[in-house]
Amino acid sequence: MNSLRRYTLAAALAALSAQAFSQDQPVPPPLRFPEEIPDKRLPNGKSQRDEILKAEHEENLKDADHLIEMARQLKEQIERDDTFVLSLSTLKKTDDIEKLVKKIRARLHH
């Protein structure tokens, strides 16, 4: 008797779900890859995507130079510090370096 109820309930749910899916619902457009999206042009005729990539590249180069300078300063601070004592400024410098690296990484993964 219990199995008959379960079967009836399952059949009713299947019929309701089939009815819900068979209604005319708008089908969403297929997802498009970035290569398929038309590129916008700037007033000077250049590609907007190319200009954004160029600006990001320049930012990466500038940040990489800054990262090299910060790493050099960190090395000097570590050399000055005592063997068993680490200054707070050294720890702050490592945090700053980590933030800059994450910023560069996020821009590269974009």
Range of the domain at 58: 49-110
Gap between the Cα atoms of 80 and 96, Å rounded: 19
Query: What SS3 class is residue 20?
Result: helix
The helix (H) or strand (E) run that includes residue 33 is: none
2 found inside a domain: no
Residue 25 lies in a domain: no
pLDDT, residue 44, reads 83
Residue 103 has pLDDT above 80, yes or no: yes
Confirm whether 95 is domain-assigned. Answer: yes
pLDDT band for position 70 (cuts 50, 70, 90) = very high
Quick one: pLDDT at residue 33? 60
Residue 36 lies in a domain: no
Largest separation between any pair of C-alpha atoms in the chain: 84
Whether residue 39 lies inside any domain: the answer is no
Written as six digits, the tokens of 23 are: 């209604």
pLDDT digits (tens, 9 = 90+) for 78-102: 888 877 777 888 899 999 999 999 9
User: 52-73 in b/e burial notation, b at 16+ Cβ within 10 A?
Assistant: eeeeeeeebeeeeeebeebeee
pLDDT at site 37:
63
Q: Could you give the number of structural domains in the chain?
A: 1
pLDDT in tens, 11-67: 766 665 655 555 555 666 665 665 666 778 878 878 888 888 899 999 999 999 999
The overall pTM is greater than 0.85: no
